[in-house]
A and B are shown apart, each in its own frame.
Chain A
């Protein structure tokens, strides 16, 4: 188990080193000078040169790369070009929205999807199964931003139960902050739940055909008991894989839903930073997201090992 963890940690470090280089090179190639974006059509050569010098953009690329990595190692992410505050501070502020939103969406989708998926499997080819799968099909077909717009129209504009968007912050009023995340979490969770329910159902059905389930049935267990006790546990591996992917996706991929609800989340920060060429924010956040994805995968691997003892020995 220790060797397994160690191997994974080394892999994580190597991935991040590679990611930092890729991110840096891509941003070098990307057209668009941050200083020029800031000055726009009012740019004059002299002011442009001053601003570039202030941002350190007049240094050669290899030196800028090294300065950046050295800063990262010290934990200094630098100053945002556009906001003029430390990038670390910005990221923390955005995580206050993004992390609770992601956790809420994932919890909601899991709480919905797993019971529905298992129930559908237990009613295989019966009315209940077909109904749930029809809803799942619909849930997958509906884009989350459209669902978001619909939720805003019904619950914010018509009923006035929620505000149409924005985020008041946890310190002001935790209740209002939570309230601001409810509709976005539903918009993110439903399409994810649809996918997860389908995966759960087919994974459980696959397991129901396995020898150990037949053995359990032969011992005298009912179909439902065999399903809940034996099949579900083994079916969790593909389910965990999908959940891991969904979690990583939600960290930055919620940007469209964030736009509909004008939530100041991490996705919008990156999106805005790319269009304004706030490169220092882009490269740090992208690297951070890469780290998060690798870490989530690592945790998923540990969970595999927890559900499947065979994986612990590190084949």
Chain B
């Protein structure tokens, strides 16, 4: 018995000593739901989890996207754009070092861009680099990029994680041991458990960085995330997966809860190529049959913003089209009858695992049944969803959140899974690409949103909210996420 007591006492001491270590307040532990795959190289895979660790922490690009979605200088101190929008001159920041000590210069820029645009590159966002014709390096701190055609989104694209600056000597190993120029360097990755970073002393903006050590822990289970927060094992969960538990943290003074916007447009995607969804009236009927507010209240505990097209409400070019198809079951039934389905119709609804889809799907199915649409729900796992729905287009309806920023351009992709084909929409997208004036671009984006709503391509449901639960003393975390990231440069503990 005495041994048991001693064992318990030593556990208690251990627990206390870890608490003491946390009291120094220059370390931060964050919980993430998913582990990055494959590896930690943002130029080699599109997974959001890669960016949530590496963006602005390990890697930097020529430009960066800040918390307000503005394009800011990063490794490029400044730039000039020729009047025809074809030539970009970048002036690089001097004295920037990679984590291995080597200096960053124009040769690294040329290498990084050429590596990303190479025909055998696995970069997931080749659109960023596609317009590049040639890259010249007049001196160590100057880069001149000439384009084949004007590209209005070029500077924006360079701010994505996919355009991170890497060094030729280390790029091949970035998946397993990433070397960038960011404020934190990679220490280790305990697979299945955590990734650890520590402050990089050679960082060019070193004084701005308050944290000494950062740990990302992988906790897939929402209940376990809650326990980890309550037990003080983690300091913040930037993307909190259990909206139903938010109230508990809001009333607890030890925690702060922020609700921000994401780029996640959640849609009831329809197979536009398959009858009866190839009929505009049927798609409009579906739009009238769904009560978005009830859906958000029921499935997301009220966290979410209704949308009427495929565009983020936070963007300056956003048009509120939620009134285009108000909730009106009678109208929905009339439209269905007009389309030749007076007795309703039957359809399947494939649901991937995230709660917004599984819970949302139940509610959507119930709402659709009120207008005579008999929905059979088919839960699928993520790999199956990608295979059946995304790749082979075997589906009637599905619920999915498109989380990439500015992904309205997907509606111009031939053979994209929901099968939308409208030549006018493609023209508008091409015009946006050519436009270099932001005002002209925004005008075109507004037209694009309206086109999608007019064609009722999908039933646009809501923008996902980003709920962050953190220790009340942690300051500087991003509230809104214009792109997947947990930028910790300016995060600190309240004194």
Contact = CB atoms under 8 A, between A and B. Distances in A.
B193 interface: yes
Interface string B186-201: 0000111110000000
B386 to A, nearest CB: 5
A135 to B, nearest CB: 20
B15 interface: yes
Nearest to A82: B37
Centre residue among B11, B39, B386, B387 by max chain A CB count within 10 A: B386
Contact of B38 (A36, A50, A82, A269): A82
A261 B176 CA distance: 26
Interface in B393-407: 400, 402, 404
B83 interface: no
A313 interface: no
B219 A165 contact: yes
Contact of B120 (A50, A156, A175): A50
Interface string B28-54: 000000010111000001110000000
Interface in B217-273: 217-221, 223-224, 227-228, 230-233
Contacts of B120: 50
Contacts of A90: 191
B38 A83 contact: yes
Q: How large is the interface on B (under 10, 10 to 19, 20 to 34, 35 or more residues)?
A: 35 or more
A276 B37 contact: yes
Interface stretch (B307-315, B328-336, B376-384): B376-384
A140 interface: no
B386 A37 contact: yes
When A and B form their complex, which 6 residue pairs have the shortest distance between CB atoms, in order from nearest? Answer: A32-B383, A264-B192, A82-B37, A164-B231, A42-B46, A164-B227
Contacts of A41: 386, 390, 400, 402, 404, 410
A264 B386 contact: no
B122 interface: yes
A285 interface: no
A243 to B, nearest CB: 24
B191 A93 contact: yes
A30 to B, nearest CB: 8
Nearest to A51: B122
Contacts of B82: none
Given A38-B47, A42-B124, A31 B383 contact: yes
Interface of B: 8, 10-12, 14-15, 18-19, 35, 37-39, 45-47, 120-126, 175-176, 190-194, 217-221, 223-224, 227-228, 230-233, 381-384, 386-388, 390-391, 400, 402, 404, 410
Contacts of A32: 381, 383-384, 386-387
Contacts of A265: 192
Contact of B391 (A36, A84, A260): A36
Nearest to A265: B192
Interface in A166-204: 166-167, 169, 175-176, 179, 182
A36 B224 contact: no
Contacts of A217: none
Contact of B224 (A94, A182, A260): A260
A149 interface: yes
Contacts of A82: 35, 37-38
Contacts of A81: 37-38
B250 to A, nearest CB: 18
Interface string A1-42: 000000000000000000000000000000111001111111
B432 to A, nearest CB: 19
Contacts of A182: 11
Given A38-B47, A50-B122, A156-B230, 10 more contacts: A31-B383, A31-B384, A37-B386, A152-B227, A162-B15, A176-B18, A261-B224, A263-B193, A268-B192, A278-B37
Contacts of A165: 219, 224, 227-228, 233
Contacts of A153: 227
Nearest to B189: A83
Contact of A164 (B45, B191, B224): B224
B35 A164 contact: no
B8 A164 contact: no
Nearest to A278: B37
A152 B122 CA distance: 43
Contact of A276 (B19, B123, B383): B383
